[in-house]
Each structure stands twice: as C-alpha cells, then as structure tokens.
A and B are shown apart, each in its own frame.
Chain A
Amino acid sequence: MEQKQLENLSPDLFRPAAGKEDLEKIGRPSLSYWQDAWIRLKKNKGAIFGLIIVILITLLAIFAPVFSSHTYREQNLALSKLPPKIPVLEHVGFLGVDGKDKDGFDVYKAKNVKEYYWFGTDDLGRDQWVRVWQGTRISLLIAVAAALIDLFIGIIYGGVAGFYGGRTDNIMMRIIEILIGIPHLIIVILFILIFKPGVTSIILAMVITGWTGMARIVRGQILKMKEQEFVLASKTLGAANSRLIGKHLIPNVLGPIIVTTMFSVPGAIFTEAFLSFIGLGIAPPQASLGSLVNDGFRFIQTYPYQLIIPSIVISLLILSFNLLGDGLRDALDPKMRK
C-alpha cells in the first residue's frame, strides 16, 4: 500500500538539494565600517536632530553676519534697546517677537523704525541678530580650533606612548598624571591673565591641559589593539605594517577619537563662556556667545531678550553636540553591529 503511494509521486515534486555554493552565499551586501556607522547613526533620532542643529547653527554663524546690512560693531544710539521683531512670527503672541517691550509698548512705532531687527538691538544700538551669529562664529572657532589642536597633540603623544610602551610609556603617563591633577580652569585663568584675553590666547590656554584626555584615550586604544588576536592573525597571514595600520588600527582607534573630539567641542564652548563671566573673555566690541549672555544679565529685568536669545543659542549648540556625540559613540562602536 505504502509502496504504491510512493510510486505515484511524480518527479516534478523533487528538486536538487541546495549546493555547497549557496551555503556560502553572502546574505546581505558587505558594508564598510563607515556605511555601517552611518546606518546606525541614522536610526538615532536624537543624533540626527543634533547633527541638523549643528549644521544649521554653523551655517548661520558663517553666513548671517555676511548677508546682513549691519556689522557686529556698528552702533546707532538712536535705535538702542529695540525689542526683537520678526516678520510673520510677530503675529504669534506668546513668542514675544512683535516689537513691543515688556509693558506692551510698540517701540518700533514710537521711534518710527521700518526695519525689522530680528533679535532686537543692544544698549548701544547694535543689531543683536548679527552680534549673536558673530558671537557664535567666535565661540565655534575657539572650540573647534582647541579641539583640533588637542586631537593633534593627543594622537601623537598617546600614539608614541602606546606604540613604544615600556619605560617610555611609563614616564609619559606619569607626566600626564601630574598634569591631570592640576585643575584645568585654574591654569586657563592664569594663562589668560598673562597673555591678555583674545581668541588665540583662549585657544592656547584651553589646549595646555586639554590634550591629556585625548592622549590617554589614544594610548589606551593602541595598547588594547596591539594585544588583540586579529592583529596577530593579520600579522601571521603576512600583512605589512601599512596594512595593519590602515586596515586594522586606524578604523578601530578612529571611533573613540571622533567621539572624544565631539565631546570636547561643547566643553570648550562652555569654558569660553565661563571665561567671559569672570571677565577674561573676548573683549568688546568683539562678541562671543559667553560674553553676550554675560552682558544680557545686566538687563534681565528690563530687556530680558538680550539674555534669553544668546542663552538659547548656546544651550542648543551644546545640547546638539552632546546628542551627536552620544549617537556617534553608539554608531562607531563596531561591537554594536547586529
């Protein structure tokens, strides 16, 4: 009975078993490290928000002062302390950008001003829109320059210590340990007292102790990488040093380096603002975000917009860098790959 049923099966029902080639077929496209990281980053809403805001603020900082009819130092005492007034948004009551001061008095009408000052003007009649973006430009310049110099020194110092190891490493790390013991801000303050506040002296002051963090990270990474089996395997397979460095060491060390740099930028923005507060920041008429916030405090009761607007910009900027840094840390960690 069973025999008969089996005989009735038609050959069409059969097909050859999958060959060995198929078993080894790669199921999904092979992705490079960066493509992979980008895919992970895109999934992180916070990081993308941060990235967009950072790009937006950077573009505004670069172009807003260029395309404005005012400059950051041009004074017009007749038009001082105008509240912010932005077209279209002026009809949205709660935003308070309708050109009326805190008592609801329309200053623009009273002074017969036709022009719209988007962020208002300060006590010397300088256009706050231009000053805020000019200030952002200076803050970003200082922060990015300090971060890049830290990166440069850190990679070399940490690389040498990690690569040679042993006694060299020991001595170099002891030096760093002592440097780390010195409070960062104290050194920055002393340095600026001597070299007078300015963009260059602020950058240099921040770099003096700022590079140690990066150096430690690079050293730690290199030390870890040297002992990994995949490096040994690659060596055993006859890989040249250039291939070892280019294919294995750099991609693995680059992630933490980028993340550390990402986090050191907001730190530097904060330090610069901090210096403005203790009277060691950028000197007027030049402005930075910190000095604008500091100046804004004088008018907290009467013209609060002078405090609020730069405060929002600096907070948003630091927040965006932190969100982006968080996202990058997750995205660039190869162990997160699913």
Chain B
Amino acid sequence: MNDFIGLRVLIVDNNNFIAKTLYSILEAFGVRKITICDTLEEAEKKYYNSELDVIFIDFMMENRSGLNFLKTVRASNADKNPSDIPVILNTGVTDIDTIIMARDTGITEIIGKPFSPDQIHQKMHNALFNKREFINVDEYIGPNRRRRQQNNPEWDGENERRHSATSNSD
C-alpha cells in the first residue's frame, strides 16, 4: 500500500531544477497534490491558506532565510495547518553549525543535497510515520531533539553508573 498517495506537499525552493527534480520524485512516489513556491512570501501564503501534510524547504532560500519560514510555521497557530507539521530541510550546506541551527529551529528532518530518491523516501517516511514527540516550551518549539530512546523500560538490570557513583560518595 502506498503511504504517500493522499499527501499534500509544499516544495519551497527558488532553484527551479531542484524543485522540478523533487516534484518528479514525489510524483513517482504517487503524490498527486504538489505545490511549488519559489519565494518565502508565496510559501507563507500557501501555508496559511491551504491544508498541507509535509513541507520541503531549501536552506539557502533568499540569503539563507529558509529557516525563518520554519520559525514562522512553528510559532504560528494557522487554521489550516498545525504548528507540528513535518518540515524537511533540503540543504547543500551540511556543516555542523548549520545542522545544529536547523535542529534547534525545530526542523523535522534534514536532507543533504544532492539527494537521491531513496533519501527522500526515507526522510519523508520518518517525518510522517515515525513522529517524535512534539515539544512546545518557551525555549524550543519542534520535534523532540533526542532521537535515541532514553530509559528503555525493558531494562531490568542494575544502573551501573548510578550505582558506582553512589558507592564512590560513601
């Protein structure tokens, strides 16, 4: 069964070639409702006026302002779309500072460009069907930044680190 068939996808990218490639990949996945916006202004209008399931945005949009759009989405209470809508960042700039900045702005997934169909499939599947808890506090709005499960409830052995720390303090 195709999980992507009924999705409504927004692509925000001012590189026509990349937008066209992503469009072709999504279309090949069976997605039928795909909109491309090549300015952030147009994307914001679309976000406020149409129901969407997932957004792809380019980091370099309008002088590295792609994440500003994400801030708007996360801080908004739009009627049409919830603030926890999956947002996937496409970026050719993959240095650690950029990744951390994107994570701390509340990005759902990051795809390093150049991309392959397999990466698009995997990230979209994760964003939509392996959702992390959504955090909304003063300092941060976005999916839980911890991807690894903590405090595995199936663990029934001793907590060695805590045990040794207690022993040392005696």
Chain B associates with chain A: no
Question: Which residues of chain A have a CB within 8 Å of any CB of chain B?
Answer: none
Question: Which residues of chain B have a CB within 8 Å of any CB of chain A?
Answer: none
